[in-house]
Amino acid sequence: MTYKNLLLEQPEPGIYLLTVNRPQALNALNAATLAELALAIAGIAADTAARVLLVTGAGDKAFVAGADISEMVECSADQAQAFSEKGMQVMHALEALPMPVIALVHGYALGGGCELALACDWIIASDRAVFGQPEVNLGIPPGFGGTQRLTRLVGRARALELITTARQVKAAEALAIGLVTQVVPVAELRDAGMTTARTIAAKGPDAVRLAKQAVHRGQDMSLANGCAYETAAFALAFATTDQREGMQAFLEKRAAKFNGH
């Protein structure tokens, strides 16, 4: 499938690279791009051989500079509701993918762009990355999950400070507040993403999937319920041949050959 506003590649087996490709508008998310993102994410979700998804933006300036302001300027409240719902669905679908999803942010990740990165499981940033929720500058609050996901990641006080002032955060601060997990020179960003993706792709796929599920589901549960969920996930892994293979390989002092079953 070819897209107008996206590039979807598989640089190596099991590793997808999804690039938002509207560099002339700093990869701003218009309705057409959101629709394509929904399709691409559904396709990746259906690929049982997919192990990791990397998400990035085209060009050297921006990951994604937000929702497309030129499309929103004349929106009625009803249209805004529909646009927000579409964006929310895309963010939920991305977050719900069974494999780890990593945002590679080399430049601006603002508004809906910051929210897209936040819907990924974690963010690797370049030293030129800039994050922010500047919506209040435009007279609107965040609309693609920023009030929720940023708060869960950096805490209520920090999220409210960033959202209500629209202050931009550079890579070093983003690392210090836990918004990103790693900062690398811009020329090394893709390699850093691929290195992490390869590491994950070599692990037991069911174990990775079950771990992701338990972390995500557990966030909305009490500790006791989250631990009960983890127990069930742990037990499920013992119904796979990969569990036998992983443990047998350890005992035989060889590398495991996982087959995803």
List residues with catalytic annotation: 115, 135
Check: CB of residue 18 under 8 Å from CB of residue 40: yes
Run of H or E including 69: helix 69-72
Give the residue, chosen from 15, 37, 44, 110, that forms a contact with ligand DAK under the rule CB under 6 A: 110
Give the residue, chosen from 3, 63, 83, 258, that forms a contact with ligand DAK under the rule CB under 6 A: 83
Give the residue, chosen from 100, 111, 193, 204, that forms a contact with ligand DAK under the rule CB under 6 A: 111
Q: Is 204 helix (H, G, I), strand (E, B) or coil?
A: coil
Give the residue, chosen from 14, 57, 100, 134, that forms a contact with ligand DAK under the rule CB under 6 A: 134
Strand order in the sheet with 130-132: 62-64, 108-110, 130-132, 169-170
144 lines the binding site for ligand DAK (CB under 6 A): yes
Give the per-residue contact string, 11-30, with ligand DAK (x = CB under 6 A; - = no).
Answer: --------------xx-x--
66 lines the binding site for ligand DAK (CB under 6 A): yes
- Distance CA(158)–CA(87), nearest Å, equals 24
116 lines the binding site for ligand DAK (CB under 6 A): no
Closest approach of Cβ 145 to ligand DAK, in Å?
A: 9
Measured from the CB atom, is 17 or 28 closer to ligand DAK?
A: 28
- Distance CA(150)–CA(179), nearest Å, equals 8
Residues 6 or more apart whose CB falls under 8 angstroms from that of 250 comprise: 256
108 lines the binding site for ligand DAK (CB under 6 A): yes
